[in-house]
Amino acid sequence: MMLYCFVQNYHWGKKGRNSEVALLAEGNRTDLQIDEEKPYAELWMGTHPSGPSVIVESGLLLIDWIQKNPKVLGTDVRARFGHLPFLFKVLSVDQALSIQAHPTKEHAKKLHSSNPDIYKDPNHKPEMAIALTRFEALCGFRPINELKKFLQEISELRFIIGEELVANFLSSDEANLQNALRKCFRALMSAPDDVVGNAITSFLSTLSTLDEPTRESLHADLVERLHSHYPGDVGVFGPFFFNYIILNPGDAIYLPANEPHAYLSGDCVECMACSDNVVRAGLTPKLKDIDTLCEMLSYICEPADAKLFTGSKEDDYTTVYKPSVPDFALIKIEISTKMDYFLTPRRSASICIVIEGKAKLGNKLIQRGSVFFFKASEEPFIKIIESNFLLFQAVANV
């Protein structure tokens, strides 16, 4: 079944035809007229009520059709979830998406119960992103030695956090480091706006006087870019606490619960548990829930390369990315020549999107932006009619 999918026009999205989301959405919906001044941030594929997909052939919402035909989910998915457990997306990021994390399932239930207007569902939201273009992100706390280096070098950071807390972190033994880091990070994120603003002004002034190697070591270009999008926001100092990661096309990262992160620029496919729960604390005009974020974070310090996630080759054309949660897995199918290909039958219902190329699925032409739904255990046959075919498939990880 072919699907029409929902576009989210968040302010941070790429505008017009610079957006991969816009171009894919144009292929997905023939009635879409791209506005060059409008941001096209996310293409949603799935059953989440904030952006539900519609079946092209019938006009029914996918969620309603699945509820009437639950066997299509597959026996394991029905038994474990009773619904399609994942939300599949394409993102086009022009500016930072906020310093954020996602709660565990138990924490999500509490947040939803206490504040349902902000935390709209009781589900967790682990997620995985695979880059389509050069993709920048902040992800996870830096290794301890890098954190200490920046705190020693940047007087403005010490000023905001407080010399006593910084000194305690710098001198802490391994048993107390995590708690000392938690206190420093909370002090930074909860500092008064005027204190943060003055510190940023001072730091930007200092950066403008430095030679290029020193500027590069202090991520000056990134700091200045973040400030240009979010003037005076404490998240401008985020690169000194979080790993700065550049993904090349095909590289993946996995973000479990309580992992701090912020996407900065680029295009990616993303899959997650079927939720829209986000706890934010910086680089955003939306509500910041600083206390909740600071309390929930894992404070695990790892190098940037530890955040990369490697898929496994299933055959010459198929790579499977399986995280540690049952809600979702991602499959990349990349075929460089014209040929016939049978997709592997899956124990789960799935949603696919064509990113590049053209093929025949039965008597239907599928091409850039085509999105379709497969029942569990289907063995779809596609005939590649244009080389350099790229398709991503989301499934439950059962």
Give 285: exposed, middle or buried? Use CB within 10 Å, 0-12, 13-18, 19+: exposed
The pTM score is 0.95
Q: What is the pLDDT of residue 76?
A: 97
Q: What is the pLDDT of residue 277?
A: 86
Would you say residue 307 lies in a domain?
no
Note down the domain range covering 228. Answer: 144-239
Percent over 90 (pLDDT), the chain: 93
Segment 274-287 mean pLDDT: 90
Identify the CA nearest to 6 among candidates 53, 40, 48: 53
Segment 41-50 mean pLDDT: 96
The reply to whether 231 and 255 lie within a common domain is no
Q: What is the pLDDT of residue 338?
A: 94
Q: What angle do CA 139, 327, 55 make, to 5 degrees?
A: 110
pLDDT at 152 over 90: yes
pLDDT tens column, 172-195: 998 899 999 999 999 999 999 999
Question: Based on the structure, what is the number of domains in the chain?
Answer: 3
The reply to whether 52 and 157 lie within a common domain is no
Question: Phi then psi for 83, rounded to 5 degrees?
Answer: -160, 175
Query: CA-CA distance, 235 to 242, in Å (whole number)?
Result: 10
The reply to whether 183 and 269 lie within a common domain is no
What band does 213 get if pLDDT is binned at 50, 70 and 90? Answer: very high
Would you say residue 214 lies in a domain?
yes
The reply to whether 327 and 195 lie within a common domain is no
Q: Which of 182, 212, 239 finishes a domain?
A: 239
pLDDT at 372 over 90: yes
pLDDT at 109 over 90: yes
Would you say residue 294 lies in a domain?
no
The reply to whether 124 and 260 lie within a common domain is yes
pLDDT at 43 over 90: yes
The separation between CA 89 and the C-alpha centre of its own chain, rounded to angstroms, equals 9
The reply to whether 9 and 124 lie within a common domain is yes
Would you say residue 382 lies in a domain?
yes
pLDDT tens column, 120-140: 889 899 999 999 999 999 999
Please identify every residue annotated as catalytic: 280
What's 119's domain CATH number?
A: 2.60.120.10
Would you say residue 253 lies in a domain?
yes
